Amino acid sequence: MDETTEEINNDELYEHYKFTAAEGQEPLRVDKFLMNFIENATRNKIQQAIKAGNVLVNDQVVKANYKVKPHNIVRVVLSHPPHENLLIAEDIPIDIIYEDDEVIVLNKPAGMVVHPGHGNYSGTLVNALIFHFENLPKNSNERPGLVHRIDKDTSGLLVVAKTEFSMANLANQFFERTTKRLYYALVWGNIENEEGTIEGNIGRSLKNRLQMDVFPEGDFGKHAITHYKVIERFSYVTLVECKLETGRTHQIRAHFKYIGHPLFNDERYGGNKILKGTTFTKYKQFVENCFKVLPRQALHAKTLGFTQPVTKELLSFDSDNPEDMRLCLEKWRNYTINQK
C-alpha cells in the first residue's frame, strides 16, 4: 500500500525533541546546543539530522552553524514517531454516520488529530478507534483502520476499514482514484474563473519542513491535481468546491496558496492575515471577528463516496458544514449584502 495510503505515509515528520533557549543563552552553534541537551546523542547523528533538514529553529530549517539565541525554539523532527508502538485506547466520542461489518464512516471534528505524531500521542482518532472497536486491521504504518486521513484542523468525512480485506480493497480504490472526495474551502480573493484545475507537484518545502510547496517543473515532490468550482462569492473571499484526483499532504492548502488564493485563516500557509479587502478599520475588525468564529483553516471534507468492499454497493455520504464554518460564511454573506 505505497501510493494507496499516500495521505498517511508521505514524508511525515514527528517531533522528537523540543527545547527553548534560556534568557541568558550565549550564541551557540545549534549542533553544539543539541549535544548539550540530547542524552547519548553523537555529533555525527545530530549533524546528519541537520543536513537532512530535520532541525528547526522557530519553525525554520537551519544549518549546523546557526547560532542559537535566547528564547529560540529548537526542534528535532524525524520520519518516525518516538513511540511508534505506543497506542493507548481512550474513551473519546466518535461521530459515526454509517457502519456495517466492513467499514465505518465518521465525521471528524476540527481540532482532532487523526493519528499519533507531531507531539500528539493521545486524544487522536486512532486512540478513540481502538477503544470503540476491537481488532481493527493495521496498515503498513501500523495505524489501525486508517486508509486515508485529513488534517487536524480540517473537519469532515473519513472511512475506516474494519477488516483486512476491506483495508486492502479500499486502499486499492484510493490508488485507482475511484473514490469520490469533495471539499468545501473558503479562500482569499475573488477567483477569476467559475471552475478550473490546479496541477503541480507537491513536496515538503525546502525552507520550512512543516509546509508543503508546489514544484511546477516536476523536479521534486509528487504529482498532484485539484479541480475546483466556485460555489459562492463574497467580494474578498470565495467559497469553492474542490475535487481531488490525488491525495497529497496539504494538497488543497498548498495548491490554493500557489495560485495566490490561500485558505481563509490558514496560519501555516499565510491565510491568517488580511490578504484582500479594504483598509477601513471596520473591515479589519470584521475579518478579525471571522477569524475568532473560525479559528482554523476554512476547509471541510464534505462528500465521500466509495464502493462497499464486499457488497460492491456504491456508498455516498455528505456532511453539512460544521458550525464554525457555517457562522463564518454567514458573516461574509451578510457583509457582502450590506456592501451592495
From residue 214, how far is each of 156, 211, 249 by CA, in Å? 24, 10, 11
Distance CA 198, CA 216 (A): 10
Residue 318's CB: how many other CB atoms inside 10 A? Answer: 11
337 by Cβ neighbours in 10 Å (0-12 / 13-18 / 19+) ranks as exposed
Measured in degrees and rounded to the nearest 5, phi and psi for residue 97 equal: -105, -10
The one catalytic residue in 151, 153, 266, 324 is 151
Sign of CA dihedral 273, 279, 281, 287: negative
Helix (H, G, I), strand (E, B) or coil at 111: coil
Helix 323-339 with 281-293: angle, nearest 10 deg: 160
Sign of CA dihedral 160, 165, 170, 175: positive
Residue 190: all three cell numbers together: 475573488
Is 11 in the active site? Answer: no
* Nearest partner of 15 among 41, 44, 65, 49, judged by Cα: 49
Length of the chain: 340
| Burial call 11-34: b when 16+ CB within 10 Å, e when fewer | ebbbbbbebebeeeeeebbbbebb
Which residues does the annotation mark as catalytic?
151
